[in-house]
Amino acid sequence: MAGKRIFIAGFGGQGVLLIGQMLSYAAMFEDKEVSWMPSYGPEMRGGTANCTVNISDQPIASPLVTKCDVLIAMNGPSLDKFEGMLEPGGDLFINSSIISQKATRDDVNVHYVDCQHLAEVEVGNGKTQNMVMLGAIINATKVVNIDTMQKVFEKVFTGKKAALIPKNMEALNVWKPSMDA
């Protein structure tokens, strides 16, 4: 299938489901086929959360995946549990603010993203950590166009919340590919 299977995992409250939804909106605005599927179950605050996003030029056959092309680990347990799902040559994003261990795979592109530092120091708003990660995903993989996100934010942040758009756009652009070095 010409497309990307994206798996995002972390603690509840880190914006794992939101990152997936933002990607899905962007893909839809770009007229791509997309599905978003959350894990659901007896979840609790602070428990684990993950979601799968499929983006493709073809209709999405199965919204679930056993292998993925892009893996985002927002916390350590997610890296341990899901690292093996990633296809060789895939992109692995590690939230290095709270994950001290390194990737064990050497056949994938690893991106360490210090979400907390970038959000608090560069953007000046600690709440934008998930948008920092989202920006890293988009800028590194080009799965959607970063400019589409302006449209997505305008759709999601309406009324009073519209004031949040510039900060969020800023957060999307603080991670640079040069930080991989």
Where do contacts with other proteins occur on this chain (CB under 8 A)? 1, 21, 24-25, 28, 34-38, 40-42, 60-66
Q: How far is the CB of 34 from other proteins (least distance, A)?
A: 6
Handedness of CA 38, 34, 175, 106 (dihedral sign): positive
Tokens standing for 160? 């009073």
Residue 81 or residue 176: which is nearer to other proteins going by CB?
81
Tokens standing for 107? 């056949």
Nearest to 72 by CA among 5, 122, 119: 5
Nearest to 3 by CA among 74, 40, 51, 52: 52
Q: Give φ, ψ of 136 to 5 degrees.
A: -60, -45
Q: How far is the CB of 24 from other proteins (least distance, A)?
A: 6
Q: How far is the CB of 81 from other proteins (least distance, A)?
A: 17
Q: Number of C-alpha atoms within 13 angstroms, CB side, residue 84?
A: 3
Q: How far is the CB of 76 from other proteins (least distance, A)?
A: 26
Residue 63 or residue 177: which is nearer to other proteins going by CB?
63
Residue 41 or residue 88: which is nearer to other proteins going by CB?
41
**With left for phi above 0 and alpha for psi between -120 and 50, is residue 89 left, alpha or beta?**
left
Residue 55 or residue 172: which is nearer to other proteins going by CB?
55
Distance CA 123, CA 147 (A): 18
Q: How far is the CB of 62 from other proteins (least distance, A)?
A: 5
Residue 51 or residue 99: which is nearer to other proteins going by CB?
51
